[in-house]
Structure 1
Amino acid sequence: MQASNETHLMEVWARQAGAYALDIFQDYAAAAPRRKADNSWVTEVDETIEQMLREQIAQAFPDDLIMGEEGGGQASNSGRIWVLDPIDGTGSFVKRLPVWCVSIGLLVDGYPAAGCVYLPVLDECYLAGLTGDATLNGQVINAENPDFLDSQSWMAVPSNAHRRYKITYPGKTRSLGSTAANVCYVASSRACAAILGNASLWDIAGAWPILERAGGTLATFSGGPFDWQRFYQGASANEPLFAASNNNYASMRAMIDLAQGAI
């Protein structure tokens, strides 16, 4: 399989997985939700999709490694590693809310280089190959948002934002339930920024290349370097992350601080 087919395959795989999940979406019992050790949700759909994707990737790219939220594995700073989040936003999926997605990312030498994020309920597919522009359903997207200070614009935030952050941004804040989707909303200039709390590599590996190709930045909340080793081992970031367009990043970040006593 040639590298030129990777972008096409990511979309095909994500749409197939999304169609499978959508068939079960309305049936709570069929999803068989349960709590993991960290109290987050997991369903049989997550596990089935990850296995589907692992098999498809292994067949197409047998020399590449694979890391997934449910099936484990570790990444590294060399080679090619596919990073899977079979359903990002499982909590929304379980509660029958529409913002959840299938996320597929490809690391090349330790850095997110290509990705696909597909939201089945909305039939929206965000895509960035190893080269070229980021797209939404085939249309080029741009993160620049000239109206980012408009009172009707919005910023994506975690569900605990009211406890963890002091926000002076004059627009709206919304918590929609999917980290990958939040980053893609910034990439498509629907959201002016996104705060990502407790993000893991599989939460952002698919969306990160999409944001960068669209003219956006994803960085640590403190502005310090990424602790890639934590990500490679499957751990969450040890501080919040922040996403915004390149032009608006500094202005937006200046409007947000950690609340006193927040951890």
Structure 2
Amino acid sequence: MSMHEEGLDRRFALAKSVAEEAGALALDYFNKRDTLVIETKRDLQDVVSIADRNVEVLIRERVAAELPDDGFLGEEFGYVEDASGYTWVVDPIDGTAPFINGMSTWCVSIAVLHGGLPVVGVIHVPCDGELYASAAGKGASLNGIKLNLDPSRTIQNGMTGIGCNTYVEPERVGQIIAALLGIGGNFIRNGSGALMLAYVAAGRLVGYYEPHMHAWDCMAGYCLVKEAGGDYLSFPTEREALFKGHPVLASNPTAYADLVAIHSH
């Protein structure tokens, strides 16, 4: 086994164990969410709670204790540069709005980048007891069962996830949905882009598109989709680009051209 394979295996194992631990902490907060103080960030739809912050702290501490030279980018507490070539990219609770409103569509999203590419992607969905796990060259799984995309699924016979936020003009969101419906597709939005990407890897959705997302929202999902046999739009990760929002698109190969066409118009 090469040094890189050894390093990848170690990080994959840690990502899975810390995702389970972080998910348990987040679920505890979810079950007592009426006591949480909710704050807004950019706007009234962009919310955060002590749960988000403390779950990220837990993940940061576990990674730093085992792999102190690894970098870390989290939604709540920013960036620590790596000295190892590996960077963890984490959203402690993706889907904070569903979380605080008592809906189950939120998750813990943990990715590891190497050479600018996601080589580990783990998404834990505590309310559903689901652990999506993937690593480069090792495939993707849901609760230990291997995921492989079905080539019979298309835009027309499947559902597509669509994401939106206040970075995107309402008119643009309307155009995207109209274009999707116009080619015989249908759409869903559940409040968590990371979770909808996991659903693409699991074949529940045929694709996912959002015009503006951050790395912590999509890197784990991208790894999952790729390892399940899907395609995704390149996401810039060099220097400052890693911290900025970019379009996110991932799908079954059967739907990729249709979604890229919608993205391009």
RMSD: 2.4
Asked if 1:235 is matched to 2:253, the reply is no
Asked if 1:190 is matched to 2:190, the reply is no
Asked if 1:37 is matched to 2:42, the reply is yes
Q: Is the 8 A contact 1:193 1:242 kept in 2?
A: yes
Higher helix share: 2
Matches within 5 A, 1:193-232: 193-219=207-233, 226=236, 228-232=238-242
Report the Cα offset of residue 117 of structure 1. Answer: 0.6
Q: Is the 8 A contact 1:75 1:110 kept in 2?
A: no
Greater CA deviation, 157-166 or 24-33? 157-166
Q: Secondary structure at the match of 1:106?
A: strand
Counterpart of 2:93 in structure 1 is: 87
Distance 1:118 1:200 in 2: 19
Where does structure 1 lack aligned partners over 5 or more consecutive residues?
none
1:115/1:227 CA distance change after superposition, 3 Å: closer
Asked if 1:155 is matched to 2:160, the reply is yes
Counterpart of 1:22 in structure 2 is: 27
Counterpart of 1:245 in structure 2 is: 252
Q: Is the 8 A contact 2:73 2:87 kept in 1?
A: yes
Query: Which among 174, 183, 190 is matched to residue 169 of structure 1?
Result: 183
Where does structure 2 lack aligned partners over 5 or more consecutive residues?
1-5, 165-169
1:156-215 deviation digits (Å, cap 9, x = unpaired): 012467524232232321001111111111111110111123210111121111111111
Moved over 3 A (4+): 159-162, 225-231, 251-254
Distance 1:185 1:145 in 2: 16
Amino acid at match of 2:217: D
Number of aligned residues: 249
1:218-255 deviation digits (Å, cap 9, x = unpaired): 116xxxx74744442x2211xx322112233114434x
Q: Secondary structure at the match of 2:128?
A: coil
Report the Cα offset of residue 38 of structure 1. Answer: 4.8
1:180/1:145 CA distance change after superposition, 3 Å: farther
Q: Is the 8 A contact 1:215 1:245 kept in 2?
A: yes
Distance 1:157 1:75 in 2: 32
Which TM-score applies when normalising by structure 2?
A: 0.85
Distance 1:90 1:200 in 2: 15
Distance 1:206 1:74 in 2: 18
Identity of aligned residues (%): 29
